[in-house]
Amino acid sequence: MEGIEHRMIKVNGINIHIAEKGEGPVILFLHGFPELWYSWRHQILALSSMGYRAIAPDLRGYGDSDAPDSVESYTCFHIIGDLVELIDVLDPDVGKVFVVGHDWGAYMAWLLCLFRPDKVKALVNLSVPFRRFDREIKPVDVRKANYGDDYYISRFQEYGEIEGEFAEVGVERVVKEYLCDFPVLLPKGKLFKRPLDEPITLPSWLTEEEANYYVTVFQKTGFTCPINYYRNLGRNWELLGPWVGSKIKTPAKFIVGDKDLVYGMAGMKEYIHNGGFKEDVPSLEQVVVMKGVSHFINMEKPEEISSHIYDFFCQFH
């Protein structure tokens, strides 16, 4: 794609694939589920033309990056370990970069700022806000209580189960269902709302060629390792005990679509807008809610998101 270069970097005992373009201060883009470096294609082209070195890895378990077999290899500490070493390789002189995250990438970016604030100049996160650690509420249990056994996070917990059901449906159908209309309920025997013989009409922001890029990659890799991130929610909750009460002090900007499934979760709007978010992230400088926009905000509104990123990071040169 238009001068984007690809290479493998050895970090934290595994090989991580990165896509990069441009020269200047590094912006590290972190993707979510079920995505790849490719989800940042618009931002890579835009920000590299604005004087930045834009870099997007496939996170461990995704795409061309290594995918360790064990579920336990996908805790937050493993991912942050990858990112810290990656930053040191990408910016050996300073070891500090700008970061942009979406979905799971946003979750990991918040934790990167919490664990290693010395590595992040400033942060723009999309879709997923930082949430304080509640030692009384286990993350999987509360979601099951709120949304039931068919909720996707509940269904992802049993190793191999959802992968078998996805295999029956086919990778192409699964990928396109997620990119078009991220399904939060996955009933057994009828995973998706649309009948399987009903064609999927892609949204205006996603071409058939772009969708097929994801399909081709996930046909090669499968979904197990990406789903292992969800299988570590409980383990992460245990590991994060020492950081209860800690706050994010990295300068941050948060952007979410008002149609995003995360924004619609119980209590989320109140947390974001009524002071809780700002209390946990004192350096939060701006919250932007984009009207009529859903979960894959960086692909749905690429020019607007690139402008938001540029405008914010310009303050920290």
Name the active-site residue from 103, 107, 178, 271: 103
230 has catalytic annotation: yes
Name the active-site residue from 78, 102, 295, 308: 295
66 has catalytic annotation: no
Name the active-site residue from 214, 230, 263, 271: 230
DSSP states along the chain: -TT-EEEEEEETTEEEEEEEE-SSSEEEEE--TT--GGGGHHHHHHHHTTT-EEEEEPPTTSTTS---SSGGGGSHHHHHHHHHHHHHHHSTTT--EEEEEETHHHHHHHHHHHH-GGGEEEEEEES-------TTS-HHHHHHHHH-TTBHHHHTSSTTHHHHHHHHH-HHHHHHHHHHH--SB--TT--SSS-TTSPPPPPTT--HHHHHHHHHHHHHH-SHHHHHHHHTHHHHHHHTGGGTT----S-EEEEEETT-TTTTSTTHHHHHHSSHHHHH-TTEEEEEEETT--S-HHHHSHHHHHHHHHHHHGGG-
Active site residues: 103, 230, 295
